[in-house]
Amino acid sequence: MSLILDQVSQRYITDGGEVVHALADTTLTVDTGSFVCVVGPSGCGKTTLLKILAGFLKPTGGQASVDDEPITAPSWKRGVVFQHANLYPWLTVRKNVELGLRFRGIAPAKRREVAEECLALVGLVGFEDKKTYELSGGMQQRTQIARVLANDPEIILMDEPFGALDALTRERLQMDLLRISRERRKTVFFITHSVEEAVFLGDRVLVMSPRPGRVVLDEEVRISQTYGRLLPGKELRSTPEFVELRDRIADQIYEGQEL
């Protein structure tokens, strides 16, 4: 799978008739299996970029494509995880996870098997028959991730998925997401406001400029390679390489902005 943005730009027209230039010409290739994190100041067009990749929005300029096919509509091949889970409260956890498969006409036995496998992957064994309103915020996000994984997408698009969670839950979910994306060899496009989270999760971090957003820094993260092994979370975050990259990215974002 090769995902390409070619000179993509986006202008919105507000209800008042004002033109908002949200995204400037953006050219980008996302390689299969990569974990790309996107950071940038508020309103710089990160969600706009994700909506274009998801097929929710047709860009006003340029083109987004997957394997030379233009992206013109949403597809289960590109799973989207939002900050808030958008689960169906009248359905159980299992039924929420099975939903995409049901729409695609997959037989009940197979649906159940896939859902159980995905719920195990995200650590929700034993919660299958709960209603989603009975779950904590972290568990709801786990359910949302399982629902996307059930479709076996080529790419997972994530918009601030852990932004509303407490620090400990967020760290646990980060570790689990890394494990799952590696085990399942998933390509991940992950938007976050946290530079620390981006450097921790990403093997590539894109930094966007203030509106109209464009990529002003495209940095490969090679900390684990430098150490020749995968480092546990705490150890990785305190390496000089991590701290240097985190600070450099933060400087780039906050440069010229009034705090």
Ligand X SMILES: Nc1ncnc2c1ncn2[C@@H]1O[C@H](COP(=O)(O)OP(=O)(O)OP(=O)(O)O)[C@@H](O)[C@H]1O
- Whether 215 and 47 have beta carbons less than 8 Å apart is answered as no
Q: Does 20 bind ligand X (CB under 6 A)?
A: yes
Q: Is residue 42 at the binding interface for ligand X, with CB under 6 A as the rule? A: yes
Closer to ligand X by Cβ: residue 194 or 224 = 194
Residue from the set 28, 44, 52, 81 that interacts with ligand X by CB under 6 A: 44
- Choice from 46, 78, 95, 170 touching ligand X (CB under 6 A): 46
Cα(67)–Cα(143) distance, integer angstroms: 29
Residues 148-207 that bind ligand X (CB under 6 A): none
With CB under 6 A as the contact rule, the residue among 2, 27, 32, 43 that binds ligand X is 43
Closest CA to 195 of 256, 255, 258, 122: 255
Adjacency order of strands within the sheet including 69-70? 19-30, 3-13, 61-66, 69-70
Laid out side by side, the sheet with 155-159 consists of: 78-81, 155-159, 187-191, 35-39, 204-208, 215-220
Cβ proximity to ligand X: between 19 and 73 the closer is 19
Region from 38-46, 60-68, 118-126, 141-149 binding ligand X, contact rule CB under 6 A = 38-46
257 binds ligand X (CB under 6 A): no
Cβ proximity of 25 and 7 under 8 Å = yes
Residue numbers at the binding site for ligand X (CB under 6 A)? 12, 14, 20, 22, 40, 42-48, 211
